[in-house]
Amino acid sequence: MRVTTKGRYALRAITNLALSDGTSPKAIKVIAAEEEISPEFLEQIFFRLKKAEIISSVRGPGGGFILSKPPSEVSVRAIFEAVDEGLDLTPCTSCTDDEIPCTKMDSCLVHNVWKEASERINAYFESVTLEKIMAQQGDKEMKTLLSGEDVRIG
């Protein structure tokens, strides 16, 4: 399993959005500039996130994007799934009932190893929410303030 650029950018952009005040929309161009992501690529990502109802758009002057749900209800897994980021380790762990990716799946001695590992990865990403990520950022900022260093988000 390897998280692609699309998955990494989606998570960075949504985290950026979550760290904003949450009540006023944030323009995609602003997020793209702050995260150093192509605005065109971010538009494609946000289209998928909007379709998955993770974010909403606000039109007009001062428009942009806001989270559709509280940060505690948005998991990293949901973000990855919205942008079609696969989290499975092998083809046999990503199959549906309609497809059989491997003819040896029923007799394969290691199929359960891959299946359990995939389940654990999915469970981990389901357990990590935007709220947890934001709390970790707050912990970092507090430590930095106490140490007297400059604070940089992102």
What are the domain boundaries of the chain?
5-147
Q: What was the pLDDT predicted at 11?
A: 95
Please tell me the distance from the alpha carbon of residue 32 to that of residue 40, in angstroms, as a whole number.
9
Q: What was the pLDDT predicted at 88?
A: 76
Cα angle for residues 58, 30, 82 (degrees, 5° grid): 60
Q: What was the pLDDT predicted at 70?
A: 92
Helix axes of 39-51 and 28-35: crossing angle, nearest 10 degrees: 120
Alpha helices by DSSP H, the chain: 5-19, 28-35, 39-51, 76-82, 111-127, 130-147
> Which sign, positive or negative, has the C-alpha torsion 21, 27, 28, 31?
negative
Please tell me the distance from the alpha carbon of residue 39 to that of residue 46, in angstroms, as a whole number.
10
Single pTM value for the model:
0.80
pLDDT in tens, the chain (154 residues): 678 899 999 999 999 999 886 678 999 999 999 999 999 999 999 999 999 999 999 898 888 999 999 999 999 999 999 998 878 777 777 665 566 666 776 778 888 888 899 899 999 999 999 999 988 876 555 455 555 655 555 4
Q: What was the pLDDT predicted at 139?
A: 58
Write out the CATH class of domain 5-147. Answer: mainly alpha
